[in-house]
Structure 1
Amino acid sequence: MKYTEEMILHSESGYCMPFDEPQGKDVELSLGYGEQAHPETGEKFFHHGIDFNVRCYMLSAVASGIVTGVGNDPVHGICQTIRYDQYEMTYGHLSNVFAQFGQRVKAGQTVALSGDRLHIGVRFKNEELNPIEFLTMLYGNIRAVRQAGGHDVPAFPDPEMEVKTDYERNKKEIEELMIRFLPHYMEDLQRGAYTLPERTEQSLRHIFTMGAMKEYFYERMPSMENPLGLGHKAIPLASKVQNLLIADFLNYLALRHDVYLSTLGEAVKKNFMTKP
């Protein structure tokens, strides 16, 4: 498809995809647009979108727009539609929706969580498009802006306000564990197979209450990387929250999967083993 001037859409976030794959992993389609063959029966059918095998991935708005639909479709399950100018982009097979009907969203803002997979459909002036062509158009615009010296890269995280945690020496190992186990952690939390310890929940509630009282939130424009709009004055709060969340994730790994950091001492491991 050749895009006319009225069809050009810019992504102020600098992203053309609604999700990020782990570093080193390529984005791969599981089902393309158009005529397809059923993998088991061989029956031909027309697929009105594209699918990705992305389980429990945070999904973002690709541009600034407004949520024009949230519902439950018999084919694609929980769906969310966002209008960007004259485009409408639909995410299907969702497990959670964070931006509700009528809500305005910013480019890069987290809007939903995928389920077992993600379906994407795109329409322009109510005419169906191949989503790959739409995403390719966004990518081309982003490259053109960068080559022209534009600033379309998100302003957060700011290198000058890097948040340090108590786990810096284990950072790489924890990130690898998150890539492997975070979808299971999120799923177990959602269905109640794992619950946040009461002390952790109370600590988080206290931290967010104090943060709200001191007006730490929305110092900046919220985005996918910085949904609370945290600025420099919130660094101590952000550090405490990250410490609590990482500690709970490690607690989950120990209790549910018998997985521990390589630097953890045997005495600490035995303490986990005695917990109910």
Structure 2
Amino acid sequence: MKYTEEMILSSESGYCMPFEERQGKDVELSLGYGEQTDPVTGKEYFHHGIDFDVRCYTLAAVACGIVSGVGNDPALGICQSIRYGEYEVTYGHLSNVFAQFGQRVKAGQTVALSGDKLHIGVKFKGEELNPLEFLTMLYGNIRAMQQPGFTGMAMSLPTDYESDRREIEELMLRFLPHYIEDLQRGAYRLPAHTEQSLRHIFTMGAAKEYFYENMPSMANPLGLGQKAMPLACKVQNLLIADFLHYLALRHDVYLSTMGVDIKKNSMTKP
């Protein structure tokens, strides 16, 4: 699978690798992804992840996410899955789990402890990936954040919806995939005035050379820097407003702070 723009992983808390190498000890991949040959039986089989020889290592969440599963698998032993947007990352062969099902986590937060080894599996929208590609993307995001002027993305920007921030983030975890899917297949279209406003903002941004102030990356594909923050905030407000408009029209879902009059208006305009 090739990485596309929709596969960009956004995380308010930043990014980190699943574990840190201990001083004086290089961690090696003990089993790769894909077709493998059993050293004992000689039979070929498909390995749905990658394994590391890391005994009793503390494991971290790699971004903002929510624990989507904790269990005991016949092949993976004690395992834990965490959903990061459309990604789901599974840690297997664990000796202990510190973040339970439904718990929200942030980048760098300790979530588990490996056993005699560690298995990592990755899926995007349910489709299996080679975890090395995902980890490479993570590393690129981490390096991008270390660049001078990097300011993060998405909900880390100040918006007109700060008082409802937590509720909007929860709604996004639940409904954002449906919103994107409906946009792609034409089941929902941006209101004309919203689309026109976005076109104006991006035209103005290009004219003022707001884009590519920093080196573009998976974490910051337009290379936005401090100069572009006012423009980015306007875009953020428009997109959140349209997302809430979509929820009202397609799912009859509203923010808990919305009054009756606001609900009526949201059915006709964002």
Q: TM-score normalized by structure 1?
A: 0.52
- Residue aligning to 1:131: 131
Quickly say closer, same or farther: Cα 1:86–1:93, change in 2 above 3 A.
same
* Partner in structure 1 of residue 3 of structure 2: 3
Does the 8 Å contact 2:16/2:107 carry over to 1? no
Query: Is 2:15–2:141's contact at 8 Å kept on the other side of the alignment?
Result: no
Letter in 2 for 1:103: Q
Once residues 26 and 139 of structure 1 are traced to their aligned partners in structure 2, the CA distance between those partners, rounded to angstroms, is 17
Whole-angstrom distance in 1 between the partners of 2:88 and 2:130: 12
Identity of aligned residues (%): 80
Distance 2:77 2:11 in 1: 27
CA shift digits 1:145-190 (9 cap, x unpaired) = 32353378xxxxxxxxxxxxxxxxxxxxxxxxxxxxxxxxxxxxxx
Query: Tell me, which stretches of 5 or more residues in structure 2 are unaligned?
Result: 153-270
Amino acid in structure 2 at the alignment position of 1:133: E
**What is the distance in 2 between the residues matched to 1:5 and 1:95?**
36
Structure 2 contact 88–122 (Cα < 8 Å) conserved: yes
Q: Which amino acid aligns with 1:88?
A: E
What displacement does 1:31 show? 0.3
Aligned twin of 2:140: 140
In structure 1, distance between residues paired with 2:130 and 2:145: 24
Q: Which residue of 1 aligns with 2:68?
A: 68
Report how far residue 21 of structure 1 moved.
Answer: 1.3
- C-alpha change, 1:118 and 1:13, in structure 2 (3 Å) is farther
TM-score, with length taken from structure 2 = 0.53
Give the total of aligned pairs: 152
Structure 1: any 5+ residue segments left out of the alignment?
A: 153-276
* Paired residue secondary structure (2:25): coil
Say yes or no: does 1:79 pair with 2:79.
yes
For residue 104 of structure 1, what is the amino acid of its counterpart? R
Deviation at 1:16, TM superposition (A): 4.0
CA-based RMSD: 1.8
CA displacement at 1:144 relative to structure 2? 2.3
Partner SS, residue 136 of structure 2: helix
Residue 56 of structure 1 corresponds to: 56
Matched, 1:41 2:41: yes
**Alpha-carbon shift at residue 11 of structure 1 (Å):** 5.6
1:118-148 Cα shifts (integer Å, max 9, x gaps): 1000000000000000000111122223235
Alpha-carbon contact 2:57-2:113 (below 8 Å) kept:
yes
Q: Structure 2: how far apart are the matches of 1:10 and 1:142?
A: 12
Amino acid across the alignment from 2:89: M
